[in-house]
A = this chain, B = another copy of it.
Amino acid sequence: MNIRDLNIGIVGATGAAGGTALKLLLERDHPADKITLMASARSAGRKIQYGDDNIVISEASSDSFHGIDVAIFAAGGLVSRRLAPRAVEQGAFVIDKGSIFRMDPSIPLVVPEVNGDDIEWHPGIVSTPNCTSTPFVMVLDALRKLSAIKAVTVATYQSVTGSGSAGQQELIRQSGNVLGGSKADLDVYPHQIAFNILPHVDDFLSDGYTKEEQKMLNESRKILHDESLAVSATCVRVPVEISHSESLQIEFESDVTVHDAKRVLSGYDGVLVVDDPSRNEYPMPLTAAGGDDVLVGRIRMDTAHENGLALWLSCDNLRKGAALNALQIMDEAHRRDVLNPRSQRKIK
């Protein structure tokens, strides 16, 4: 079956990640009549433009998935918990964008460039990682070809679309408030995000970390199949619309060079090295946004640790951080001919 013949459903089509998935399908010329857009009852009946076509949104319900080959869930954990198992029963291959299945040992968590093989043992659902984890594991996977990794310190600079369309609206609205001299109106975030920085992404845990920081550790270990990987993360929201950036310091078991790091990163699918300081070329959210690659630059020796490298990355959190990775999981499952969950070919 040609991939354009697949019936693809998007649950949460009105959100930022769902909307990006639809945009990516249009870029691939996926036929409009092979796309089903689903959302809550509130949005049902609304039309969404898709090239020259309009697609009417239907309500996502427990019997919405008959005839759907691939269902992309981007509507939050509660909806996935309730409807993803129904979609699998009805024959769909589910790709879940949310966090609820990610650490479930029976469900693969996949970045195709890193652990595409894990798709083979899917039980009907494959989970896509958190938007900060995806570029992070790609860079670590490239670099561990040079030497085993001992520890990674990462500080993030995460855009507001990580909180969906509502986060983006809040940044735009508050920026207007502030420029106009009025008080910023709070809704999504507990504090003003316009012209401010919040060292706070997702809920706090009792050890002082946030769930987002914990995800970077746990998801990386699962995707990289390295339970001893040591990661110390600080996740921070910044007043940027699209793309997450990350500052990494990586300690290796043995000596690595900047030259070799550039070589393995340049040769890694989905990574683009942008590293020419003399021309002011380095990754930025604005240049990563709308693109498919994880941009990596500022690659240099770590001045504080033996066998250490420091680098900087930017990645479109809606594309590779979410919707693009989901579609690439679909491509990979199609290529490996494991789309049909009922065949349950290779359960681990």
Contact = CB atoms under 8 A, between A and B. Distances in A.
B232 A304 contact: yes
Contact of A191 (B199, B278, B284): B284
A252 interface: no
A300 B234 CA distance: 11
A312 interface: yes
A247 B155 contact: yes
Interface string A282-312: 1111100000000001111111110010101
Contact of A277 (B208, B249, B302, B304): B208
Contacts of A171: 195
Nearest to A178: B175
Contact of A304 (B175, B191, B231, B239): B231
A307 B49 CA distance: 55
Interface string A180-217: 00000000001110011111100010011110000001
A210 B298 CA distance: 10
A323 B151 CA distance: 38
Interface string A238-252: 111100010101000
B152 A286 contact: no
A254 interface: no
Contacts of A239: 195, 238-240
Nearest to A244: B197
A231 B308 CA distance: 12
A120 B175 CA distance: 47
A104 to B, nearest CB: 22
A236 interface: yes
Copy tally for this chain in the complex stands at 2
A240 B200 CA distance: 16
A6 interface: no
A227 to B, nearest CB: 14
B238 A197 contact: yes
A280 interface: yes
* Residue from A153, A236, A239, A305 having most chain B Cβ neighbours under 10 A: A153
Given A190-B280, A310-B232, A297 B199 contact: yes
Nearest to A239: B239
A230 B303 contact: yes
A277 B210 CA distance: 9
Contact of A204 (B277, B283, B305): B277
A208 B298 contact: yes
Nearest to A150: B304
A172 B180 CA distance: 11
A101 to B, nearest CB: 23
Given A171-B195, A196-B286, A200-B277, 11 more contacts: A151-B304, A155-B234, A176-B179, A195-B285, A196-B284, A198-B282, A209-B303, A210-B277, A234-B249, A234-B310, A234-B312
